[in-house]
A and B are shown apart, each in its own frame.
Chain A
Amino acid sequence: MTTNVIEVNNLEHKYNDLKAVDDISFTVKKGEIFSFLGPNGAGKSTVINVLTTLRKIQKGEAKVNGYNVAKESKEVRRSIGIVFQMMCIDYEMTVFENLEYHGKIYSMPKNERRNRINELIKLTELEAKRNTLAKDLSGGMKRRLELARGLMTKPAVLFLDEPTVGFDIQTRMRIWEYLRKIKREGTTIFLTTHYMEEADQLSDRISIIDHGKIIATGSVLDLKNQLGEDLIYLETSDNKAAAGVLKTLESVKGVNEDTKFLRVMLEGDVTHILPKIMDKVRQNGIEITTVNIKKPSMDDVFIHYTGHGLRGEELEEQHENIKIAEVLK
């Protein structure tokens, strides 16, 4: 028996001349939460659309729950649940009716349908809202209803396209709780996100995706360990010159220049390396204004692999993420 619920080999997808997905391969194991982390336009939704057979596969091979996406789309569709990036529940129907409709179009027998609805309403804690019109639910509740709907048919894998985009921190964290619960109940989850913290908090494994390519794949820990145990953040009178100097040091694995500071990756123990670094910089006539030692975060990982932070429009959300990090502590 295969334990890979999703297998993708050399997938490529173009819109006219634009290569949105560029030769990617990955696998998702049974029972794990696997995330695609990448900025807007990276190609995440395109991959989801191909895997869920909503877009015809152009090049490469993909299997979901053992079924070939190109040839067995009906079986693939029967195997999966989807929560789309855009909210798409029927606002003029109640929580119960939305779920009932879903069960009906997936040909679930009445008894099974009703039992499952009861289970899921309980799981997503919507008991009190069972007969409330969807339009009268809060944003987070609507999302929970979508989660419940995605789980109606007990799918082998649940696809979530940016499940918490646009929500406030509390709502987002609440949704994460439900996702963990769903995972504990044995559902495999494939999710896309451009929130570092989301990928960090939820995923067993992450693929960092940028410009249609997978740049790195691994567990959160693996990815962070690539950056060494600790990072040093330096602010100096001349960051550019300092970076040049530091790159020559053997115990320095790499240096990223950010807008205000340098991010220094280390080969070895920070307590021994830091004094050497400070000496070296000062010897070159560069003044150090601040020093900071930090465990690598997903932001650092992302910048390390892609060579850039999240672009323009995401900056604001990064601030959100920092706030989330604070709340989590």
Chain B
Amino acid sequence: MNFEFRAVYWREMVKFFRFKSTLFSSLIQPVMWLAFFGLAMSKSFDKLTSLLPNTPGIPNVDYLTYMGAGIIAMDVLFSSLFGGTSLLFDKKYSLLKETLASPIPRINIVMGIGLSSITKAFIQTGIIIIFGKLIGMNFFKGYDIIQTLVSVVGIFLLVGIFTLGFFFLSGSIAITVDQPEGMQSILTLLSMPLFFISNALYPVDSFPEVLKFLSIFNPLTLLSNGIRYFALGTNFSVMGGHYIYTTADITMYFMGLIFFALVMLSIVLWRFDKVDV
């Protein structure tokens, strides 16, 4: 068994905390999402949907809180998708050479950087939950301390698996393409449908059937739903719709994300195996 992924992780974290500009932007990014997008959108949505009748007897969730889960998902999606970009530069400037020439299996590189992506995602998730609380995002409403803790752990688990999946995807692209521009356009192309065919920011109920169907398989939907299961409860209404999440649902979200991450892991390992020094 190899533990050298810890060395790779150490190196990533040293550099993460060293670059004040990237550190700052990764900390400020979730706050911006919430402050600008979240507040602006929720104000107008709440106005539009205030006329819709709520299901009686079911806790009603305001739009900001509903969307908060999606904002975590979006934020983590973008940072992990672009997380592989550093690999591309490492490859371009031969930084990978040293590690690739060492006796350690290449999976250590993937896991080490993956772990650093998870760390960054956790920091961002934490910021959104805390800052969200300050501006009126009502996560964990009516939970006691144990319930809150369990929910936080659940959310972080989901975020971790999701981040690994998308980092592996982005790492596979980074190790395959040669130009940062090429990577940029592939990522943009990928993130568009992920972004829109999901229920991260609004319910998919009124989508055309095809999109609705596709959205079920979107990891972003799985993560948003999973976070809502933990943060909003299993039974709530929002914007006139009534949502119930069962244990079967949350199990499916976990399984779906794990499956996605494993598929991406095998792809990234296959791509790494092809890298010539």
Contacts and interface: CB of A to CB of B under 8 A. Distances in A.
B102 A106 contact: yes
B101 A87 contact: no
B141 interface: no
A102 interface: yes
Interface stretch (B9-17, B54-62, B117-125): B9-17
Interface of A: 49, 52, 54-55, 74, 77-78, 82, 84, 86-93, 97, 101-102, 104-107, 149
Nearest to B99: A105
A92 B23 CA distance: 14
B212 interface: no
Interface centre among A52, A77, A90 (most CB of B within 10 A): A90
B18 interface: yes
Contacts, number: 59
30 contacts: A52-B101, A54-B101, A54-B277, A74-B103, A77-B101, A77-B102, A78-B103, A82-B101, A86-B94, A87-B94, A88-B93, A88-B94, A88-B97, A92-B15, A92-B18, A93-B14, A97-B11, A97-B14, A101-B10, A101-B11, A104-B4, A104-B6, A104-B7, A105-B4, A105-B7, A105-B98, A105-B104, A105-B108, A107-B104, A149-B98
Given A86-B94, A97-B11, A104-B10, 20 more contacts: A49-B277, A52-B101, A54-B101, A54-B277, A77-B102, A88-B98, A90-B15, A90-B95, A91-B93, A92-B15, A92-B19, A93-B14, A97-B14, A101-B11, A104-B6, A105-B7, A105-B8, A105-B99, A105-B104, A107-B4
A77 B277 CA distance: 14
Given A49-B277, A88-B97, A106 B103 contact: yes
A7 B10 CA distance: 38
Contacts of A105: 4, 7-8, 98-99, 102, 104, 108
Contacts of A52: 101
Interface residues of B, number: 25
9 closest A-B pairs (Cβ-Cβ)? A104-B7, A88-B94, A77-B103, A54-B277, A88-B97, A105-B7, A74-B103, A105-B102, A105-B4
Contact of B7 (A82, A88, A101, A149): A101
Interface of B: 3-4, 6-8, 10-11, 14-15, 18-19, 93-95, 97-104, 108, 276-277
Contacts of B19: 92
Nearest to A49: B277
Contacts of B3: 107
A89 B94 CA distance: 8
Chain B interface mostly helix, strand, loop or mixed?
Answer: helix
Contacts of A89: 98
A86 to B, nearest CB: 5
Nearest to A76: B103
Contacts of A74: 103
A54 B103 CA distance: 11
A91 B99 CA distance: 15
Contacts of A97: 11, 14
Contacts of B101: 52, 54, 77, 82
B87 to A, nearest CB: 13
A58 B8 CA distance: 31
A52 B102 CA distance: 10
B269 to A, nearest CB: 18
A82 B100 CA distance: 12
Contacts of A101: 7, 10-11
A91 B89 CA distance: 12
Contacts of B108: 105
Contacts of B14: 93, 97
B125 to A, nearest CB: 26
A170 B4 CA distance: 39
Contacts of A55: 276-277
A112 B83 CA distance: 33
A89 to B, nearest CB: 8
B51 to A, nearest CB: 55
B104 to A, nearest CB: 6
A140 B15 CA distance: 24
Contacts of A54: 100-101, 276-277
A79 B72 CA distance: 47
A74 B104 CA distance: 8
B97 A84 contact: yes
A255 B15 CA distance: 60
B85 to A, nearest CB: 15
Contacts of A78: 103
Nearest to A78: B103
A78 B10 CA distance: 22
A149 B98 CA distance: 10
A155 to B, nearest CB: 12
Nearest to A159: B101
Nearest to B102: A105
